Amino acid sequence: MKLVFSLITRLSLRFRAVILLLALLISAAGIVATSQLKVELIPPVAFPQTIILAQAGGMTGEQVLTIVTERIETALRQIPEVVNIESTTTSGFGAVITARNNFGDNQARVVADVQAALDTVWLPSRRIAPSDGETPEAFSARLLAEMTPDVLIYLAERDPNFLFQLTPQVWSALPVETVEALAAYLAAETRDASGSALRALVEQEIIPALENIPQVANVSIGGGQALPGDEDTPPIISGEAASLLLDLTPAVWTVIQAKLPDIDALTPATAETLRAIPVTIPTTPPALPASWQMDRFTDATDLREMQTLTRSLSAVFNQFMTSGQIVGALRQTDDLTVADVEQMLALDPTILNYFTGDQLVALPADVFAALPADYIAGLDGFTRDGLAARALAATLTGEAAPPAPIDLPQAWRIAPPQVITFSFDDLPLA
């Protein structure tokens, strides 16, 4: 080895120019190779697992296990690619189930199989879905093209971020008259333009964008308050109240301009022009368009009830645009059907114990008639008095007026399971 190094040293000293030229060529080749090398800092690796989130509160842990967890696990075991299933069940939240598969499997196909398996698990729910022969994309486009402005304005009055979180695709699918009314509504609504510019940016742009991500359950902010000694410092931005129309994203405004060609660029003057268009803000839940009224969806409240802890109201519409379905839990007593009662009793007869007297009195007549005779016989005196008063009123009037609906017990409001996946592709890179 010593002789080799000695030979290399002698050759380097004898042929200095050649060695220097070789060194320069190697350095240049390295620079060129480095500049053309394709490097992926985060490769598109998808974790071989699918998480199913099933919210079911108001029940005991054993009931959640019987009604939700075990039945979902049974359906997942029918998928050949699923090699391991882990679950956590709690009485306060529901179940979190992790279905794992092997690396190398087509993850998109596995997720589709998981969703198909979940669709076979019956839970009390209602849905807007296409009929046989109609594609989800055509169905959602048809229904959104018939959406009236009063429904969306009613929802926006109860969720200030709703309209701002709708995707440009949803805006594009809405009819011209609806888009014009929504633009006029936003033009007339104002926000306080004084305060911290940073906090305004966070509240009006960053928070709505984060809440619109399906995997984000909740967003909270902190800070923004004045530091000691800065209480008298004037706000970074100040001025009169600004129109909410100015908070729309450029992508959404491009869609609005395409539908309303007479509208100019998004400026305060444009907002002032749109403000002159009369808009009626509904105070009671408006009826849904006829094409939307299916499976216990009748008015705007039914759409609002599709919002959950992990799904915003805008996400309901954004997902409907691509999936063609809106699926959600039951909410009030008039949502309950005889089939729901029979199915739930087959799963766990003790689920009836969560009904209060007021809820029993508010049940539809056919649903109440489907309750077991021994359960009705064991009702307390106050509940019997309420049922007797309803029967007497029906006798005196000659017709059985439907009772005013009230909220169902929490145990009967089981949210449809949600599929959650994660890969490095989900990470936003600047």
Helix (H, G, I), strand (E, B) or coil at 99: strand
Name which of 157-166, 234-243, 295-304, 387-396 the model is least confident about. Answer: 234-243
Asked if pLDDT for residue 77 goes beyond 60, the answer is yes
Residues 6+ apart with CB under 8 A from 92: 57
Which tens digit of pLDDT belongs to each residue from 249-287?
899 999 999 999 888 888 999 999 999 999 999 999 999
3-state SS assignment for residue 134: coil
pLDDT for 312 equals 87
Q: What is the pLDDT of residues 225-257, one digit of tens each?
A: 554 554 544 444 445 567 889 889 899 999 999
Higher confidence at residue 194 or residue 138? 138
Residue closest to 141 by CA, chosen among 164, 178, 171, 177:
171
Compute the average pLDDT of residues 68-90. Answer: 95
pLDDT at residue 342, as a whole number: 95
Check if the beta carbon of residue 315 is closer than 8 Å to that of residue 34.
Answer: no
Residue 151 has pLDDT above 90, yes or no: yes
Whether residue 87 contacts residue 69, with contact meaning beta carbons closer than 8 Å, is answered with yes
What is the per-residue pLDDT for 198? 58
361-364 long-range Cβ contacts below 8 angstroms, 24+ apart: 361/386, 361/387, 361/390, 361/403, 362/333, 362/334, 362/403, 362/404, 362/405, 362/406, 363/333, 363/336, 363/403, 364/333, 364/334, 364/336, 364/402, 364/403
Tokens of 275: 């403000």
pLDDT of residue 259: 94
Phi, psi of 46 (to 5 degrees): -105, 130
pLDDT per position as a tens digit, 178-190: 999 999 999 998 8
Give mean pLDDT, residues 338-357: 93
Task: Decide if pLDDT at 293 tops 50.
Answer: yes
* Look-up of token digits 């301009």: 257
pLDDT classification of 119: cutoffs 50, 70, 90: very high
Nearest CA to 329 out of 402, 417, 403 is that of 417
SS3 340: helix
More confident position, 428 or 279: 279
pLDDT of residue 18: 73
Pairing state between β 49-55 and 94-101: antiparallel
pLDDT tens-place string over residues 61-71? 999 999 999 99
The overall average pLDDT reported for the chain is 84
> How far is residue 300's CA from residue 316's CA, in Å, rounded to a whole number?
13
Strand ranges (E), 32-185: 49-55, 82-89, 94-101, 125-128
Burial of 72 from C-beta contacts in 10 A (0-12 / 13-18 / 19+): buried
At residue 154, the pLDDT reads: 97
| pTM across the whole model | 0.75
Q: Helix, strand or coil for residue 54?
A: strand
